Chains A and B, each alone.
Chain A
Amino acid sequence: MKKAPLLILLILSVLVFSLIGFLGKDNIYSSQDKNLLEKPFLTSVFTGINDEIYPWDLFNSQKRNQAAMEASERQKMEEEMLAKQIAGENANAESETADNETVTETQDSGIVNDEVQPADVDIETEETPTEEEIPEPEEDNPFKDYVPRYEPFRETTYDEYVAHVSADIYGDMGVQFAASYPFGKVTMEYFDDALFIGDSRTVGLVKYTDISQHADSLCETSLSIWKTFKSNFKGKGTVESFLKKKQYKKIYIMVGVNELGTGKTEDYMKEFTSVVDRIHEMQPEAIIIIQAIMNVDREKSTKDKVFNNENIRARNNAIATLADNETIFYIDENEVLCDEEGFLRDDLRGDHLHLKGKSNELWKEFLLSHAVILEGTVLAEDVEVETSEKPE
């Protein structure tokens, strides 16, 4: 101890942390990634801190039991996914050898997705109108029978889950319905009673345009949908406190790029839905405008297994189904920010994921031209007419 106090203290503390990690591995630390071939036991003690799991939770039997229960549920879920996938593959193989009739049928059913397996097709997807089924399309609304928040037509497969692939389980019906709304063009005053919630992309929008002179914003780098109601935005306040303090008319939200590698499309969708519903519950008078997760540029999208536009589209397709075009809307700014292949334009981007300061102007213009016209909204054309009339 006298000759090498540091070494001895270090070894002792390694033993203590390892013991904690070991005792907690099946309960409080069960949610931590612990590949024991690569990582020592004590790793989860430290990664746990990030998830607000502390070593002393080991002495809290309630937390211990809850975590153990969640672990067994997670394991069950994974096993079920795997079993379903194997069953699906078997069914697929059988149907292929039998006849192709069922496969062609599903292709006709309005949902554009080649990967749809016959066994997975829901009754509801068959209810969705196809062009042939609509009797008089010229005078009728093609979305007459559209039901927002419809069920996904399949589940994320086990392979997709382990590869962090966001499965496109909704198709683009929600996107199409949302786009059928007749958005209008407005002036900056439109944002006077608006709130922007978002991650670093929205930080750019607020920092580099004059939106901040009109709207409130709650945005910070690394925000995810799971953190949206937890974060206090560097002391600015929580979403809840803002919604309690002031009545907004428009609440814009774009959250989703940071958590692309986290959970399945279903998990993201579930959390996003609950956030949107909670906002609506707190401010039923306000409309909620969901902005599509902004795409990434070509280099990032083609090289990155997680942060790519395929995965972004899958999640956008999911959240778009929340739009009812009455209180919840969905707009896709990628239309103006991306090239025809959907990559964030090279002339607009800062790094691979963000617009450069100046380009945010384009995004702002998009928002101005994709406004939901409410009672009392001043239209851009009215102002234009007024100003052009004045000199005469």
Chain B
Amino acid sequence: MISFTSLTFIFRFLPLFLILYYAVPSKFRNLIIIIGSLFFYAVGEPIFIAVLVGLIAANFLVADIGYRFKNTTSKGNRYRLKHKKRMLCAIMVSIDIIALVTFKILATFVESTLLPLGLSFYIFKMVSYQVDVYRATIPVRPKFIDTAAYFSVFAQITQGPIMRYEDGAFYNDKYFSIKNIEEGLKYFIIGFGMKVILADRIGILFNDLGMYGYQSITTPLAWLGAFAYSFQLYFDFWGYSLMAEGIMVAMGFDFVRNFNHPYASNSVSEFYRRWHMTLGDFFKDYVYFPLGGSRCSKGKMVFNLAVVWILTGIWHGNGINFLIWGAALGIFIILEKVSYGKKLSKIPVLSNLYVLIVIPLTWVVFAIKDLGDLGSYFSRLFPFFGTNDIAVNGNDFLEYLGDYWWMFLLAIVLCIPKTSEIYEKHKNKWYVTILLLIVFWIAVYFSASTDGNPFMYLNF
């Protein structure tokens, strides 16, 4: 039920929540968000919900102290006030980060179950909240109810997007509109379909490659696997983001964009401006810019980028492969900034190819935790490094392509920005409505087959 694709969530929790949400007077809607979200969270994380509740209270209280200081017009006092607010912000951000780091360390070295669900997502929201309060970009003094609803909202708590407080406008009443629900439903269904019909299916290919060991696959299949995994990750995450945003839209919030056709980028830097955009923006606004960004010496900029990408690597998971992944991306992005980036991005096809080769390779690093296995995989991608002491089956590439071609075709079509434009133009037509209805029920079929049925999904 904690997953948006589970039928219990779709047919029980979500409709019930939305009915309740719109049944109460608008001033109580944030309260319904809190109650519903804590219930949702408690199902998946009955113990660590205490961490969430504690951090919500602490973050609200500390930020609120800043609003209690008397505003002053004298210059000296203003400086002191600013200094005090800065201290408050620094203390609370430190507590948040220490909480994140502590649990990450516990999860890495003690037991993986010690990482509270969605911790890194809600901590990032909290950090942005503290800094935005300090920077006074939040227009009105937040009420506790509004802040708690922002931090806990179930649609974003497990996998984001990392929305900003002001983007959610929790302080504004949300009014019932059947149009919002229809719109949200469309986002939700598209996301549901991407995740369940496409990502979960095409993901089986990459999973299969591990079956007989990576050293047993041919080079073409290794590349096909790298692309399959790249598509899986993309449609899984984009799909999930769309589902989350669909729910938010149905609740009357503005749509928060998290992906903008990253695979159509002309450079790795651009790719990451269009991939998981709310995370990229977070690092940009709260790490890269405060460090000085690119408005400083070249050496300092390189350092700043390195910091951002090493942090990105650590944030994504515990394992050396994530560090290598972050570092590799950092190197490509630094190289682009200081050397070939501008020139290359002007050459259309070549720059696209560059992205489409570099990014899948980095995803392979992201995917394979065991460094020995990672080595095997790369020796198959680039066979001149490997040994000959292996057994491969020469037909494997064609066999897999025969089974998966329609998924690759669909994935490629969905990666093209033009597809979205066409959809936007036609989305209110009757045939799109029917198409979405069909997509929904096909997705339900796949979800029903795997949901809570451990023996269905395992195929040996």
- B181 close to A (CB within 8 Å): yes
Which of chain A's residues have a CB closer than 8 A to the CB of B208?
Answer: 221
Evaluate contact between A350 and B391: CB separation under 8 angstroms.
no
Which of chain A's residues have a CB closer than 8 A to the CB of B448?
Answer: 43, 46-47
Q: Kindly supply a per-residue 1/0 record for chain A positions 27-48, scoring 1 wherever the CB is within 8 Å of any chain B CB and 0 otherwise.
A: 0000001010011101100110
Chain A, 339-391, CB within 8 A of any chain B CB: 349-351, 353-358, 360-361
Evaluate contact between B212 and A207: CB separation under 8 angstroms.
yes
What secondary structure prevails in chain B residues at the interface with A? helix
Which of chain B's residues have a CB closer than 8 A to the CB of A43?
Answer: 7, 448, 451
Which of chain B's residues have a CB closer than 8 A to the CB of A306?
Answer: 454-455
In the complex, the chain B residue whose C-beta lies closest to that of A234 is: B403
Q: CA–CA, A231 to B458, complex, Å?
A: 18
Chain B, 376-424, CB within 8 A of any chain A CB: 389-393, 396
Q: How far is the CB of B203 from chain A (nearest CB, A)?
A: 15
Q: Kindly supply a per-residue 1/0 record for chain B positions 11-48, scoring 1 wherever the CB is within 8 Å of any chain A CB and 0 otherwise.
A: 11000000000000000000000000000000000000
Evaluate contact between A7 and B185: CB separation under 8 angstroms.
yes
Evaluate contact between A209 and B460: CB separation under 8 angstroms.
no
Interface size on A, residues (CB 8 A): 46
Q: Kindly supply a per-residue 1/0 record for chain B positions 236-280, scoring 1 wherever the CB is within 8 Å of any chain A CB and 0 otherwise.
A: 000000000000000000000000000000000000000000000
- Contacts A5-B430, A207-B396; A350 near B216 (Cβ below 8 A): yes
- B456 close to A (CB within 8 Å): yes
Evaluate contact between A201 and B460: CB separation under 8 angstroms.
yes
Evaluate contact between A46 and B444: CB separation under 8 angstroms.
yes
- B436 close to A (CB within 8 Å): yes
In the complex, the chain A residue whose C-beta lies closest to that of B441 is: A13
Q: How far is the CB of A331 from chain B (nearest CB, A)?
A: 20
- Contacts A357-B393, A358-B389, A358-B391; A7 near B178 (Cβ below 8 A): yes
- A123 close to B (CB within 8 Å): no
Evaluate contact between A6 and B453: CB separation under 8 angstroms.
no
- Contacts A42-B11, A49-B445; A356 near B212 (Cβ below 8 A): yes
Q: Kindly supply a per-residue 1/0 record for chain B positions 421-458, scoring 1 wherever the CB is within 8 Å of any chain A CB and 0 otherwise.
A: 00000000010011011001100110011011111101
- Contacts A350-B212, A357-B390, A360-B391; A33 near B185 (Cβ below 8 A): no
* B393, B440, B448 interface centre (most CB from chain A within 10 Å): B448
- Contacts A6-B437, A50-B456; A38 near B8 (Cβ below 8 A): yes
In the complex, the chain A residue whose C-beta lies closest to that of B445 is: A46
In the complex, the chain B residue whose C-beta lies closest to that of A258 is: B460
Evaluate contact between A46 and B449: CB separation under 8 angstroms.
yes
- B71 close to A (CB within 8 Å): no
In the complex, the chain B residue whose C-beta lies closest to that of A5 is: B433
Evaluate contact between A38 and B452: CB separation under 8 angstroms.
yes
Evaluate contact between B460 and A204: CB separation under 8 angstroms.
no
Q: How far is the CB of A357 from chain B (nearest CB, A)?
A: 3
- B125 close to A (CB within 8 Å): no
Q: CA–CA, A5 to B430, complex, Å?
A: 8
* A200, A207, A221, A222 interface centre (most CB from chain B within 10 Å): A207
In the complex, the chain A residue whose C-beta lies closest to that of B389 is: A358
Which of chain B's residues have a CB closer than 8 A to the CB of A221?
Answer: 208, 459-460
Which of chain B's residues have a CB closer than 8 A to the CB of A248?
Answer: none
Evaluate contact between A307 and B211: CB separation under 8 angstroms.
no
Which of chain A's residues have a CB closer than 8 A to the CB of B451?
Answer: 39, 43
- B210 close to A (CB within 8 Å): yes
Q: CA–CA, A216 to B12, complex, Å?
A: 50
- Contacts A208-B393, A357-B216, A361-B391; A262 near B182 (Cβ below 8 A): no
In the complex, the chain B residue whose C-beta lies closest to that of A257 is: B460
Which of chain A's residues have a CB closer than 8 A to the CB of B292?
Answer: none
Which of chain A's residues have a CB closer than 8 A to the CB of B156?
Answer: none
Q: Which 8 A-B pairs have the closest CB atoms?
A: A357-B216, A356-B213, A350-B213, A222-B459, A46-B448, A4-B182, A357-B391, A261-B455
Known: A6-B437, A46-B449. 15 other contacts (CB 8 A): A4-B179, A5-B430, A6-B433, A6-B436, A7-B185, A38-B8, A39-B451, A47-B449, A47-B453, A200-B211, A221-B459, A261-B454, A306-B454, A354-B212, A357-B390
Write the residues of chain A forming the contact surface with B, with a CB cutoff of 8 angstroms: 3-7, 9-10, 13-14, 33, 35, 38-40, 42-43, 46-47, 49-50, 199-201, 204, 207-209, 221-222, 257-258, 261-262, 306-307, 349-351, 353-358, 360-361
Show 20 residue pairs from A and B whose CB-CB distance is below 8 angstroms, ordered by the A residue.
A4-B182, A6-B185, A7-B185, A10-B185, A10-B437, A13-B437, A47-B448, A47-B453, A199-B460, A204-B212, A261-B454, A261-B455, A349-B213, A350-B210, A354-B460, A355-B212, A357-B212, A357-B216, A358-B390, A361-B391
